[in-house]
């Protein structure tokens, strides 16, 4: 059977190892495993959400309200935008995928005349997307499936001067991950707005996707990082802001994210949105989660308290870390310590963290856990690092 030729070069996304898999592979007890690999909220979700899920479990047979109006209204009020500026996705992942689909073949019509004249250059003229050297893996995967050429900046973390220099390639989509996953660094909002202005004039057909999956953490730590989705809808018809309930809101398992942009962009994305793309219980959970700001704030505050322990640990061990505006921290290891070995050793003790070897970095990313989890992880890490260094 013949398939999409683009798929020949697609590597399947490697998700953080689930607890179930570690139980299966290492014969450990589920209760002994600490998973700090997927940036879930270790404090669970709001008690209000859990109650609402229990009360509505009997609605599992009913499709959700496909207009998702109640959730859109709550988000519209939260961000000072209109309902027509909102689209809901199965995680912000799905909104990324919708953007890629919406931009696929966008060049066909306008570039037809041009491409007729340059048949021989057809391959090099393949439309492109632009992203940071190291950033969220799904940007590349979705873009490759759709046949886009991948352009990356030289720097691993976001360097807007390098992004600007690449605008001449007229990328169909420019991905800005603010703050950046899996590194943790974060552009200032002001820098992002200036870049949007620049992109608008130099490459007006580029859609700039601002992935704000960890914005709640960044804006808590430093208000200069806070991107305003309202400002984007009002001033930047070339941009879309993405948010998620998977991180600060503690709903990773429920798969709810959203996009905020001009009504024109949102209407187009709705054409590629599959119907009933989130579950009935996810819709209820997200609406309820938005009502419990105190829970979110306390989670974020404790996140940064606990992160300090990892920073102190890194300093004491003379290990480089990237100052993080998220709920994870990335340790960049020295040459003599192999990140794959560190992760493997921790795994055998039931601790799951993320090895960044797949990003071609000798580094590992650790989600900030509960106090007791972090204590065990740091103790174990201490032991493993000493033993690996000696070897």
266 CB contacts (<8 Å, ≥6 apart)?
84, 85, 86, 87, 259
Q: Which stretch binds its own copies (CB under 8 A): 25-33, 150-158, 269-277, 375-383?
A: 269-277
| Shortest distance (Å) from residue 56 CB to its own copies | 9
Please tell me whether residue 97 binds its own copies under the rule CB under 8 A.
yes
**Concatenated DSSP letters of 211-272:** E-TTHHHHHHH-GGG---HHHHHHH-TTEEEEEESSSTTS-GGG--EEEEE-HHHHHHHHHH
- Output the six-digit token pair for 240: 């879309």
- Using rule CB under 8 A, residue 281 touches its own copies: yes
**Residue among 6 and 312 whose Cβ is closer to its own copies:** 6
Burial of 95 (C-beta count, 10 Å sphere; 0-12/13-18/19+): buried
Binding flag, residue 391, its own copies (CB under 8 A):
no
Q: Of 138, 170, 161, which Cα lies nearest the Cα of 238?
A: 170
In the complex with its own copies, which residue's Cβ is closer, 300 or 385? 300
Write the DSSP symbol of residue 202.
H
Among 25, 32, 77, 108, which residue sits at the site for its own copies (rule: CB under 8 A)? 108
Q: Which is nearer to its own copies, 260 or 385 (CB)?
A: 260
Q: Are strands 328-332 and 320-322 parallel, antiparallel or unpaired?
A: antiparallel
Q: What is the DSSP letter of 27?
A: -
Report if residue 169 touches its own copies, rule: CB under 8 A.
no
User: x/- binding map, residues 311-350, to its own copies, per CB under 8 A?
Assistant: ----------------------------------------
Find the part of the chain contacting its own copies (CB under 8 A) among 18-26, 219-227, 365-373, 374-382: 18-26
- Stretch of 103-111, 152-160, 329-337, 382-390 lying at the interface with its own copies (CB under 8 A): 103-111
What mask of x and - would describe binding to its own copies in positions 186 to 215, judged by CB under 8 A? -------------------x-x--------
Token representation of residue 165: 């220099």
């Amino acid at each position: 059977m013949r398939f999409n030729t683009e798929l020949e070069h697609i590597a399947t996304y490697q998700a953080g190892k689930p607890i179930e898999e570690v139980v299966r592979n290492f014969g450990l007890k589920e209760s002994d495993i600490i998973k700090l690999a997927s940036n879930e909220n270790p404090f669970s979700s709001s008690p209000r959400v859990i109650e609402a899920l229990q009360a509505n479990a009997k609605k599992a047979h009913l499709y959700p309200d496909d207009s998702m109006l109640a959730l859109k209204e709550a988000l519209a009020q939260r961000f000072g935008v209109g309902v027509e500026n909102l689209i809901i996705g199965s995680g912000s992942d799905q909104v990324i995928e919708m953007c890629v689909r919406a931009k696929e073949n966008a060049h066909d019509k306008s570039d037809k005349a041009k491409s007729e004249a340059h048949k021989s250059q057809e391959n090099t003229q393949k439309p492109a997307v632009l992203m940071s050297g190291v950033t969220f893996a799904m940007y590349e995967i979705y873009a490759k499936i759709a046949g886009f050429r991948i352009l990356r900046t030289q720097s691993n973390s976001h360097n807007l001067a390098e992004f600007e220099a690449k605008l001449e390639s007229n990328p169909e989509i420019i991905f800005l991950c603010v703050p950046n996953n899996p590194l943790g660094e974060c552009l200032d909002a002001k820098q992002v707005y200036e870049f949007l202005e620049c992109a608008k004039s130099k490459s007006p057909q580029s859609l700039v996707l601002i992935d704000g999956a960890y914005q709640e953490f960044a804006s808590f730590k430093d208000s200069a990082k806070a991107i305003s989705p309202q400002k984007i809808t009002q001033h930047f018809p070339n941009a879309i802001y993405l948010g998620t309930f998977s991180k600060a809101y503690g709903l990773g398992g429920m798969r709810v994210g959203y996009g905020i942009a001009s009504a024109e962009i949102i209407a187009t994305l709705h054409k590629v949105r599959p119907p009933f793309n989130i579950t009935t219980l996810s819709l209820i959970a997200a609406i309820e989660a938005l009502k419990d700001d105190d829970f979110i704030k306390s989670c974020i505050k404790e996140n940064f308290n606990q992160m300090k322990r990892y920073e102190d640990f890194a300093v004491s061990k003379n290990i480089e870390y990237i100052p993080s505006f998220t709920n994870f921290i990335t340790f960049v290891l020295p040459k003599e310590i192999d990140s794959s070995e560190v992760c493997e050793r921790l795994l055998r003790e039931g601790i799951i963290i993320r090895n960044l070897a797949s990003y071609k970095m000798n580094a590992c990313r650790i989600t900030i856990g509960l106090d007791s989890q972090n204590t065990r992880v740091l103790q174990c890490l201490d032991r493993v690092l000493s033993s690996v260094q000696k070897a």
